[in-house]
Amino acid sequence: MRSLVISRWGPGRIDSGTALRNTQNMAALAQRGPVDVIIVDTAGDPPPAPPLEGARTLAHYAPPPPPHI
């Protein structure tokens, strides 16, 4: 089974409860097959995180900030 995870946090992040839960979900999926991750984060570059075996980050998308009117 191959999985795709679209998340605000990448694999290996454990600096918040949500990031830890997402990492645990990705690890569980990785036991069943490869996991591809797309990070969607408005804050910019994600902080470094240890790699998660079986998961790879395909893309990091940071949408531009909304225009000020």
| Residue 34, pLDDT score | 92
Structure tokens at 55: 């998961």
How confident is the prediction along the chain (69 residues), in pLDDT tens digits per residue? 899 999 888 888 888 898 899 999 999 999 999 999 888 876 666 666 777 888 888 877 877 777 887
CA dihedral 65, 6, 16, 29 (to 10 degrees): -170
Q: What is the pLDDT of residue 11?
A: 83
Q: What pLDDT sits at residue 61?
A: 81
